[in-house]
Amino acid sequence: MSEYILEMKEICKSFPGVKALDHVSFQLKPGHVHSLMGENGAGKSTLMKCLFGIYKKDSGLIIYNGEEVNITDPFDALNRGIAMVHQELMPIRERSIAENIYCGRYPVHKYGPVSVIDHKKMNEDTQALLDDLGLDFNATEKLGTLTASQMQLVEIAKAVSADAKIIILDEPTSSLTLREVDKLFEIIKRLTAKGCGVIYISHKMDEILQISDEVTIMRDGQYIGTWPASELTTDFIIAKEVGRELKDLYPPKVNTPGETIFEVKDFDSIIEGSFKDCSFSVRKGEIFGVAGLVGAQRTELMEAIYGMRGITSGTVFYNGQTLKIKKPEDAIKNGIALITEDRRGNGIFGVLSVSDNVAVASLDDYLQYRIMLNHKKINEVVNKSINELSIKTPSTKTQIKNLSGGNQQKVIISRWLAKEPEVLIMDEPTRGIDVGAKYEIYSIIGNLAKEGKTIIVVSSEMPELIGICDRIMVMCEGRITGIVEGEDMNQEKIMELSTPFMN
């Protein structure tokens, strides 16, 4: 038997247009904490999903406990002793903590063919587990009564209860308080003492250096290297994480920012732990970037400005005028548009045609005889968009769900261009889009800014922001930690500002 409990060898995985994993290897020793680091999109989650059978790997070997395995789904993984605590939890809020922990593998009494759930055993075992881990919860309490960070601890308890040999923690501390982080580390130490291997995914340098035995760094789907944590420094990790050169991925800058025109003041979220004290201002004709890690609350802040989320305080000014924005409709009337992060969720109308998808936000501008839509005018606008943004579609009547991601995104951009907004907020405008289409979208952004539109781009891809923006605002845990421009607009500086406990 080898010294590793888990070996992943030369794993490859491609999605249409993207090589997500390119011969990535990873080894985990029993009783060790092995951290996996890299930027958003480096392929960490994809690698873990391949381990779990959520994605099917294209090639490569997974050796678990000395045997080659082919895990088909998360349930199979759990049965083999591999458990994962996801970054985004899937709690069943209305059921008790015990039921959440034993979900799908409830202890039962067997009466012939009939299985009856043994609630007593389930509750007692859960309580014992919670007590053992030093978690001060009642097993029969509804999960929904806990805070988000407490639920995260319950989720970790669930992984422990499964008697897992390997536990994967994906950004486990993103919603934990400092004290809870200490609690988590205690639990991790107890697990490793029992010989359990832990894969720890996080952006937080100090935590990584504190808890890990080894660190593996990935970048752009490639394996960069593995080092013992004791030999690493924060600077070294950042350099390895971002160390790529920018080639001609971005069009030349064509815009020149003018006077400050769009201001956001004192935005506080209605939700505890979301954004707080956020103020910034953007100039006319400027491309203003917003950077940050997952959970930095960038999307939440932008959606709040647009009237989609509740705030306890906050004012938006355009050209010195206060704007009253309670819902998206108000924002649009004031010349603000938002291209949302979740294209499928609240961007496209899948069953509607390309034409309808373009026209939907500006229908009232195409009236004739006061009530009737002027289809000719709509067609002109749609065809103009298709030509200008070179949207590839069989016809204007094609359902948008049949288009590629990049073309769908261009249709949504057209939707807002038809409305001629003064301020255009784009949240992850190039997510899931191939490189060619990205370049075209950057060009569109540049041209809009040149025409004097104010553009705000939220992105998790730092090179993209550095490549196209005039200034970049960095957020961390709901707060604005700095605005960089000129010389300071580099990945090291941005990473530093977006990493918690470093500033």
Partner 1 sequence: MSEKVEKKEKNKLDIVQFLVSNALIILIISSAIFVGLQNPRFFSMANIKNLLANTSVRMVIALGISGVLIMRNNDLSAGRQVGLAGCICATLLQRMDYAGKVYPNMEPMNMWLVCILVMIGFAVTIGLINGLVVSKLHVPAFIGTYGMQTIVYGIALIYTGAQPIGGLIPEYTDWAAGSFMGIQLIPNLAIVTLIVMVFMWFLYNHTPYGKKMYAIGGNPDAAEVSGINTTRMTIASYMIAAALFALAGFMLGAKAGGTSSNLANGYELFAIAGCTIGGVSVNGGTGKVSGILMGVLVFEILKIEMTFLGIDTAWTYIVQGIVIVVAIALDIRKYIAKK
Binder among 361, 458, 473, 489 for partner 1 (CB under 8 A): 361
Q: Which CA distances in Å does 136 have to 183, 401, 453?
A: 11, 48, 53
Binder among 1, 178, 193, 372 for partner 1 (CB under 8 A): 372
Instruction: Provide the minimum distance between the beta carbon of 446 and partner 1 in the complex, in angstroms, as a whole number.
Output: 25
Distance CA 427, CA 503 (A): 25
Strand partners, 287: 455
List, in order, residues 6 or more apart from 349 with CB less than 8 Å away: 356, 357, 360, 400
Binder among 63, 69, 239, 352 for partner 1 (CB under 8 A): 352
Part of the chain binding partner 1 (CB under 8 A), chosen from 129-137, 147-155, 262-270, 354-362: 354-362
Instruction: Provide the minimum distance between the beta carbon of 392 and partner 1 in the complex, in angstroms, as a whole number.
Output: 20
Question: Is the CB of 285 or the CB of 328 nearer to partner 1?
Answer: 328
Instruction: Provide the minimum distance between the beta carbon of 322 and partner 1 in the complex, in angstroms, as a whole number.
Output: 20
The amino acid that residue 340 corresponds to is T
Part of the chain binding partner 1 (CB under 8 A), chosen from 203-211, 233-241, 284-292, 358-366: 358-366
Question: Is the CB of 349 or the CB of 439 nearer to partner 1?
Answer: 349
Distance CA 86, CA 92 (A): 14
Part of the chain binding partner 1 (CB under 8 A), chosen from 276-284, 291-299, 349-357, 384-392: 349-357
Q: What is the DSSP string of 312-333?
A: EEEEEEETTEEE--SSHHHHHH
If you search the block for the tokens 């049965």, which residue do you land on? Answer: 79
Write out the binding residues for partner 1, residues 197-226 only, by CB under 8 A.
Answer: none
Q: Considering the rule CB under 8 A, would residue 373 count as an interface residue with partner 1?
A: yes
**Count of positions on this chain that bind partner 1 (CB under 8 A):** 30
Q: Considering the rule CB under 8 A, would residue 415 count as an interface residue with partner 1?
A: yes
Contact 261, 323 (CB under 8 A): no
Part of the chain binding partner 1 (CB under 8 A), chosen from 120-128, 148-156, 246-254, 339-347: 339-347
Instruction: For the sheet with 260-269, list strands across it.
Output: 278-283, 260-269, 311-318, 321-323
Q: Considering the rule CB under 8 A, would residue 364 count as an interface residue with partner 1?
A: yes
Distance CA 223, CA 245 (A): 17
Part of the chain binding partner 1 (CB under 8 A), chosen from 38-46, 192-200, 313-321, 361-369: 361-369
Contact 154, 99 (CB under 8 A): no
Instruction: Provide the minimum distance between the beta carbon of 331 and partner 1 in the complex, in angstroms, as a whole number.
Output: 8
**108-111 and 114-117 strand pairing:** antiparallel
Burial (CB < 10 A; 0-12, 13-18, 19+), residue 119, is: middle
H-helix or E-strand spanning residue 278: strand 278-283
Part of the chain binding partner 1 (CB under 8 A), chosen from 17-25, 184-192, 203-211, 343-351: 343-351
Write out the binding residues for partner 1, residues 299-338 only, by CB under 8 A.
Answer: 306, 308, 327-329, 331-333, 338
Instruction: Provide the minimum distance between the beta carbon of 416 and partner 1 in the complex, in angstroms, as a whole number.
Output: 9
Cα–chain-centroid distance for residue 231? 30
Instruction: Provide the minimum distance between the beta carbon of 429 and partner 1 in the complex, in angstroms, as a whole number.
Output: 15
Distance CA 41, CA 220 (A): 7
Q: Considering the rule CB under 8 A, would residue 350 count as an interface residue with partner 1?
A: yes
Q: Considering the rule CB under 8 A, would residue 347 count as an interface residue with partner 1?
A: yes
Distance CA 458, CA 473 (A): 9
Contact 450, 258 (CB under 8 A): no
Contact 42, 218 (CB under 8 A): yes
Question: Is the CB of 347 or the CB of 446 nearer to partner 1?
Answer: 347
Write out the binding residues for partner 1, residues 227-256 only, by CB under 8 A.
Answer: none
| CB hemisphere CA count around 3 (13 angstroms) | 3
Instruction: Provide the minimum distance between the beta carbon of 333 and partner 1 in the complex, in angstroms, as a whole number.
Output: 8
Distance CA 197, CA 195 (A): 6
Question: Is the CB of 4 or the CB of 416 nearer to partner 1?
Answer: 416
User: Structure tokens of 352?
Assistant: 């509607």
Q: What is the DSSP string of 174-200?
A: TT--HHHHHHHHHHHHHHHHTT-EEEE
Q: Considering the rule CB under 8 A, would residue 359 count as an interface residue with partner 1?
A: yes
Part of the chain binding partner 1 (CB under 8 A), chosen from 207-215, 242-250, 340-348, 449-457: 340-348
**214-219 and 33-37 strand pairing:** parallel
Instruction: Provide the minimum distance between the beta carbon of 332 and partner 1 in the complex, in angstroms, as a whole number.
Output: 4
Q: Considering the rule CB under 8 A, would residue 340 count as an interface residue with partner 1?
A: yes
Q: Considering the rule CB under 8 A, would residue 420 count as an interface residue with partner 1?
A: no
Q: Considering the rule CB under 8 A, would residue 35 count as an interface residue with partner 1?
A: no
Instruction: Provide the minimum distance between the beta carbon of 123 and partner 1 in the complex, in angstroms, as a whole number.
Output: 33
Question: Is the CB of 192 or the CB of 408 nearer to partner 1?
Answer: 408
Q: Residues in the site for partner 1, rule: CB under 8 A?
A: 306, 308, 327-329, 331-333, 338, 340, 345-352, 356, 359-361, 363-364, 367, 371-373, 375, 415
